[in-house]
Amino acid sequence: MQFFTFIYLALPSVVLSAAFPPLGYGRRVLREAFDKRNSNVSAHSCFTEAAPATTAPKTNVWAPISGDDNLAVWNLLHDPASSLNLTHPNDAILTDNYVFWIDALHTNKSAVLPYLDGNATAPPKYARAIIFEGGKAVPDSQEYMIGPLPVGPKTTVEKLNYIYNGGTGGSVPYNARYFDSPRNAASDPLLASVMSNISDITAALFQGGVYYGSNDSRTNLITTWGVPMSFDGTKAFRNVMFKFPGPASYLTPLDFFILLDITGTDASLYSLRGFVTAEKLYPTVEALRTAFDAGDLAMEYDQTLDADWALVNYKPELGVRDLEDRLAPSTLEIGGKRYRLDKENQYVEYMGWSFYMSFSRTLGIMFYDIKFKGERILYELSMQEAMAQYGGGQPKAAGTVYHDTYYSLGTEMSALVEGFDCPWGATFWNLSYHSNNATITKTNSLCIFEADMNFPVSRHRYGADNAYGYTQLGTVKGAALTVRAIATVGNYDYMFDYAFHMDASLEISVRASGYLQSSFYYPDQGAWGPRIQQATQGSLHDHIVTFKGDFDIVDSSNSLQVSELKAIKTSQSWFPELGEFEQLEMETSNMKEEQQFNWAANNQAMYTIINSNATNKWGTPRGYRVVPGRSNIHLSTLNSPFSRNNSHFAKSHLAVTQQHDNEPYANSVQNLNLPWKPQQDFSKFFDGESVDGEDLVLWFNLGMHHFTRSEDVPVTLYSEAYSSISFAPQNFFDRAQDGDLLNRRWIEVDDEGVLTYEDYGVGLETCVVDLTEPTEHIGMMLTS
């Protein structure tokens, strides 16, 4: 029913009345132009017109594997000839071997460049598959590479070890592997047994709350638990917190925790390590019962059972805002779409930019071969990890670190709402991933749109001796193309934006909305966040989102130039009265070795990826600057046991390495449960190799220190939980890349006070704004 909101918001069909016919190139008098309003132009739709097509110069060699390839790989793995002895995941128990997931393996850059830049044939595609091997004598999870694809006589299934540096290749100990439903099912009976024996206690403490097992009809509490669930793979633990169920359960936690040892594949050996409530540990049922019987256990606050307050719907109790019942301003592509798409190849051209996109179930959207006016800037731009680490005075908050690739972040990129999540008229693409032998399509999960920046790219006014206040004025319209997707990984809705600007700069931003992971409210625990509801505390935490930027400025031989601003003492003979005086100077050098580093204090250093052998017209090495944006942070805790050695990528603002085919990812997708013995240790990338005149990768972090607040209820606000960075040309060109834009005004006022202006043939246009004619996406929302 709620989708009828769209009908309510829809506008009548109108044609923008400020339109006038295309006038052709030339100088005109301002008055005449504005008098020539005309609404008779046959207008295109602002919203439903498809972007014009183009053809990618090369096949997209980074694309995800097709559904057919996935099926063939699945069948190959399950063929008895492969000797993997696999059980279907739906039937699997701990001691079976079964497929966790299948995805595309990254394609080696060394194999791609000869194809991309030369006449070599396209490199073969490979799949990667994670297989849980509980049936082995020493149970583990082993990753395989399967290729070349399509599956044929030459296809092999080999262990995928070369991308991991932890010492055990693609093998992850059983105790550290992903905690999936068979592991959940194996440890639930112990949890149910413990909780059944104390159901009178939990019912008394938590308004009738009981747990008899997750599938028992009497159960009215739900569980969550901290991750990591192991430190080094030798043991596994499960620290459970109970919550009231419902769509906002993240905001209705209870002060009750059960600590279990769940080491190994024999569930009969699993054991209770204790209970925590009211900030005390009770090692046994007896200890807990004794305290309960003595009246030592009581909840000072009741958690709310009805969590309507936590839904992202209209809250009339907040009052009425004047004029707010009118439709808010919206982006219109009035002149028609100004970008071209090759959907088959996931290839985009926009205002000099061109790039390919890919998608993976773990990393989400990835970009390849980003060029401006035919010259390569980046070979690859991709998110690598979305991490969060919490603090608190109870086992769940204190012991929670998330690596969202562990949860297959890409698979959580879901349908976007036209007009709200992305502008009306945006291009919507589907994203697909594989599950078992099938391919799941998430419709309309990526959007592409061009939007007004609402400020000019550049402008200047000259002269003031007339009624207009100028004799010359130049101003250039600002716009950018954004590629957007939102991943709802459990509680949070991470929005990833990649904005391609007219001036050849590229901006990446991440925003977080969705539910806070909260804690029960403890009045003495203000150091871990404020009270945000009757019995809820907003848990303090950090978000760190790590990206890979494989820069290829013109070619793959690049350096990282550091230009430091120094206050130096000088004396100059023409200022004899000053003697020695302080002024600004820039000290420039190239970084020599691979390293992790932080933004300079006061941002007094500029970092630029340059190509020393490619100079602009003025003899300066061409480069792209790494421009700090908003909330450029790293993890606050550098020595926490929960993130000790599997999260080094999050512990500096920036890092630079030499590009290697065997270092494609900052993290491994099953590193989360291995903080003390990681499968992939980012810090090992830094082994003294040169980064001067080499193929460089810049790793950079966005994120937020989440200082939780009552305004995180019901959900965190995108406006504030926001981080960004830009890459901007730095002597890459001979001049600014705005001179060739026609969307500008050059206005002159002559001695007689007559104003004339150039419109360069870009007249004001018209398009039909008809929100009552539902587009595919509004239609989808109305009927779903």
Ligand X SMILES: *[C@@H]1O[C@H](CO)[C@@H](O)[C@H](O)[C@H]1NC(C)=O
Question: Which residues are the active-site residues?
Answer: 404, 492
Q: Which stretch binds ligand X (CB under 6 A): 324-332, 435-443, 618-626, 759-767?
A: 435-443
Q: Which is nearer to ligand X, 45 or 612 (CB)?
A: 612
Q: Which of residues 75-134 bind ligand X (CB under 6 A)?
A: 85, 87-88, 95-97, 108, 118-119, 126
Q: Which stretch binds Cu ion (CB under 5 A): 162-170, 448-456, 550-558, 705-713?
A: 705-713
What residue 565 binds from Cu ion, ligand X, none (CB within 5 to 8 A, per partner kind)? none
- Terminus-to-terminus CA distance in the chain, angstroms? 10
- By C-alpha distance, which of 576, 408, 414, 558 is closest to 485? 414
User: Which positions from 211 to 250 touch ligand X by CB under 6 A, shown as an x/- string?
Assistant: ---xx-----------------------------------
What residue 644 binds from Cu ion, ligand X, none (CB within 5 to 8 A, per partner kind)? ligand X
Q: Judged by CB under 6 A, which of 548, 644, 653, 706 binds ligand X? A: 644
Q: Judged by CB under 6 A, which of 261, 452, 661, 720 binds ligand X? A: 661
Query: Per rule CB under 6 A, is residue 783 in the interface with ligand X?
Result: no
Q: Which is nearer to ligand X, 408 or 611 (CB)?
A: 611
Q: Which is nearer to Cu ion, 706 or 777 (CB)?
A: 706
User: CA 505, CA 438: separation in Å to the nearest integer?
Assistant: 39
Q: Which is nearer to ligand X, 62 or 126 (CB)?
A: 126
Q: Judged by CB under 6 A, which of 6, 60, 62, 135 binds ligand X? A: 135
For ligand X (CB under 6 A), the number of binding residues is: 37
Please say whether the beta carbons of 671 and 646 come within 8 A: yes
Q: Which is nearer to Cu ion, 651 or 706 (CB)?
A: 706
Burial class (CB within 10 angstroms; exposed 0-12, middle 13-18, buried 19+) of 305: middle
Asked if residue 245 has a cis previous peptide bond (ω within 30° of 0), the answer is no
Q: Cβ of residue 42: shortest distance to ligand X, in angstroms?
A: 11
Query: Per rule CB under 6 A, is residue 271 in the interface with ligand X?
Result: no
What residue 592 binds from Cu ion, ligand X, none (CB within 5 to 8 A, per partner kind)? none
CA torsion through residues 662, 667, 670, 671, sign:
positive
Tell me the one-letter amino acid at 29: V
Q: Cβ of residue 723: shortest distance to ligand X, in angstroms?
A: 24
Question: Which residue's CB comes closest to Cu ion?
Answer: 706
Query: Per rule CB under 5 A, is residue 622 in the interface with Cu ion?
Result: no
Q: Judged by CB under 5 A, which of 706, 724, 730, 732 binds Cu ion? A: 706
Q: Which is nearer to ligand X, 181 or 772 (CB)?
A: 181
Task: For residue 469, report the phi and psi dihedrals to the nearest 5 degrees.
Answer: 90, 10
Q: Judged by CB under 6 A, which of 181, 570, 589, 615 binds ligand X? A: 181
Percent helix / strand / coil, the chain, rounded to 5:
15, 35, 45
Tell me the one-letter amino acid at 719: S
Query: Per rule CB under 6 A, is residue 784 in the interface with ligand X?
Result: no
Q: What does DSSP assign to residue 653?
A: S
User: Which positions from 554 to 583 touch ligand X by CB under 6 A, shown as an x/- string?
Assistant: ---x--------------------------
User: CA 225, CA 499: separation in Å to the nearest integer?
Assistant: 37
Q: Judged by CB under 6 A, which of 437, 466, 590, 726 binds ligand X? A: 437
Q: Cβ of residue 512: shortest distance to Cu ion, in angstroms?
A: 5
SS3 for 23-36, per residue?
CCCCEEEHHHHHHC
Sequence-separated (6 or more) residues with CB below 8 Å from residue 184: 214
Query: Per rule CB under 6 A, is residue 738 in the interface with ligand X?
Result: no
Query: Per rule CB under 6 A, is residue 330 in the interface with ligand X?
Result: no
Task: For residue 648, report the phi and psi dihedrals to the nearest 5 degrees.
Answer: -60, -25
Q: Which stretch binds ligand X (CB under 6 A): 6-14, 177-185, 253-261, 390-398?
A: 177-185
**Distances 457 to 151, 329, 334, 513 between C-alpha atoms, Å:** 50, 21, 19, 30
What residue 334 binds from Cu ion, ligand X, none (CB within 5 to 8 A, per partner kind)? none
What residue 737 binds from ligand X, Cu ion, none (CB within 5 to 8 A, per partner kind)? none
Please say whether the beta carbons of 357 and 366 come within 8 A: yes
Q: Cβ of residue 766: shortest distance to ligand X, in angstroms?
A: 12
**Distances 65 to 126, 148, 335, 575 between C-alpha atoms, Å:** 8, 11, 36, 69
Q: Which of residues 415-434 bind ligand X (CB under 6 A)?
A: 429-430
User: CA 748, CA 500: separation in Å to the nearest integer?
Assistant: 31
Q: Which ranges in 55-149 belong to alpha helices (H)?
A: 67-78, 109-117
What residue 291 binds from Cu ion, ligand X, none (CB within 5 to 8 A, per partner kind)? none
Q: Which residue has the tokens 């959580």?
A: 412
> Starting at the edge strand that comes first in sequence, how are the strands of the sheet with 280-282 ordered?
222-225, 237-243, 253-261, 271-277, 280-282
Q: Judged by CB under 6 A, which of 267, 272, 278, 562 binds ligand X? A: 272
Q: Judged by CB under 6 A, which of 141, 546, 632, 645 binds ligand X? A: 645
Q: What does DSSP assign to residue 286?
A: H
Q: Which is nearer to ligand X, 520 or 649 (CB)?
A: 649
Instruction: In the chain, count H helices and then E strands.
Output: 9, 42
Q: What angle do CA 605, 733, 744 make, to 5 degrees?
A: 105
**Distances 684 to 165, 181, 273, 325 between C-alpha atoms, Å:** 7, 33, 35, 56
Tell me the one-letter amino acid at 386: A
What residue 193 binds from ligand X, Cu ion, none (CB within 5 to 8 A, per partner kind)? ligand X
What residue 706 binds from Cu ion, ligand X, none (CB within 5 to 8 A, per partner kind)? Cu ion
Per CB under 6 A, residues contacting ligand X are: 38, 40, 71, 85, 87-88, 95-97, 108, 118-119, 126, 135, 162, 181, 184-185, 188, 193-194, 197, 214-215, 272, 285, 429-430, 437, 441, 443, 557, 613, 644-645, 661-662
